[in-house]
Structure 1
C-alpha cells in the first residue's frame, strides 16, 4: 500500500525575523492542518488517512518567508493540489500551508525542494 502523507509548510522567518514564540508557530500549523482536513473530509485519501489515525504521517517543512509561501501556494493551485494557506487574523499574515493527505508519490515533487523545519 502506498504511504499517504500530509505536508505542512510553515514560514521559518516567523521564529527568526518576527520573533514568534514556538507555541504560536505550532498553533499556525495546527490551524492549517485542521482546516484542510475539514475542507476535504469526503476525499478518499483523507478518509483513508484518518481511518488509520494511530499511523498518520505528517512532514513539517519550512518556507523561508511570505514570498516563498505564496509562491508555493500558487504552484499548488496551478497543479490542482488541494491545500489551505492559513492567514493569521487580524494581522492578515500568511503563516503556513497544509496540503490535504495525498499518496506521497503524487505530491512530493511539489515540496521536495524544501527543508525539514528545524529549531
Structure 2
C-alpha cells in the first residue's frame, strides 16, 4: 500500500475546559500539553511501521487536534481506547495531576476515526 492510499493521521484530544473559567490556562500552556503528549506517544511507538511511515512524510504529516469538553470525557476516551487496544498516551500534568491531553499513535484514519469522531476541532 502506498502512502497516498493510506491516510495516516495522529489524533490528539485536549481537555477543552482548561482554557475556560475557572482554570483559564493560557494558549501556550495548552500547546505545550499537545507537544508533550505527541512526542511521548511517538517515542513509545517509534519503531511501529505506521509511526515510521508517518514521520517519513515530513511536512506532509497529518495531525488533527480535537477538544474533549472536560477531564471526564478525556478519561472516558482513554478507557475506550484501552478496551479496543488502540495505542495512545495520556498526558497527566504534574504537580496538578490533571489528565490534559491524549495522543493516539499515528495510524490509518479508518482504524481510529470512530473513536474520536464525536469530538470537535479544538478552537
Matches within 5 A, 1:4-15: 4-15=8-19
Q: After TM superposition, what 4+ stretches of structure 1 lie above 3 angstroms from structure 2?
A: none
Helix, strand or coil at the partner of 1:72: helix
Q: Deviations over 1:19-74 (max 9, x none)?
A: 00000001000000000000000101000000111100000000000100000000
Is 1:29–2:46 an aligned residue pair? no
Is 1:38–2:43 an aligned residue pair? yes
Supply the distance in 2 between the matched residues of 1:25 and 1:31 (Cα, whole angstroms): 10
Give the aligned CA root-mean-square deviation in angstroms. Answer: 0.6
Helix, strand or coil at the partner of 1:47: helix
Q: Could you say which residue in structure 2 is the equivalent of 1:106?
A: 111
**Number of positions where the alignment pairs a residue of Structure 1 with one of Structure 2:** 118
TM-score of the superposition, structure 2-length normalised?
Answer: 0.94
Unaligned runs of 5+ residues in structure 1 are none
TM-score of the superposition, structure 1-length normalised?
Answer: 0.97
